[in-house]
Amino acid sequence: MGKVLTLLTVVPEEQNKIEKMLEELKKISGYNSGKIEDYVFGTKAIKVSFTCDDSEARDFEEEISKIQGVSSVSVEEVGLI
């Protein structure tokens, strides 16, 4: 069995709460890393990664979408590590 790394981009509904959003993402089981980056039109987004066993088949996109204040979530990359 291997490990799966999932890289996502998370955009909050309110830019002034982006730090709080990052703290919420850190609470999700499997959190690997996260940082705030410039996105589009002067806004910021969070690039975040998670790891899990390949047998778990977790949908981090769905889990993050359920967090209050998330505007959008997009999967950038998924791969075995």
The CATH number of the domain where 46 resides is what? 3.30.70.60
Match 């969070």 to its residue by tokens: 46
pTM for this prediction: 0.92
Beta strand 31-38 pairing with 70-80: unpaired
The H or E element containing residue 26 is helix 18-26
Q: Which pLDDT value is given to residue 68?
A: 93
User: What's the pLDDT tens digit per position in 1-51?
Assistant: 789 999 999 999 999 999 999 999 999 999 999 999 999 999 999 999 999
44 strand-pairing partners: 38
Number of folded domains in the chain?
A: 1
CB of 69 closer than 8 Å to CB of 12: yes
Q: Mark 23-41 as b/e (b = at least 16 C-beta within 10 Å).
A: ebbeeeebeeebebeeeee
3-state secondary structure of 66: coil
Owning domain of residue 53: 3-80
Banded model confidence at residue 57, pLDDT cuts 50, 70, 90: confident
Banded model confidence at residue 66, pLDDT cuts 50, 70, 90: very high
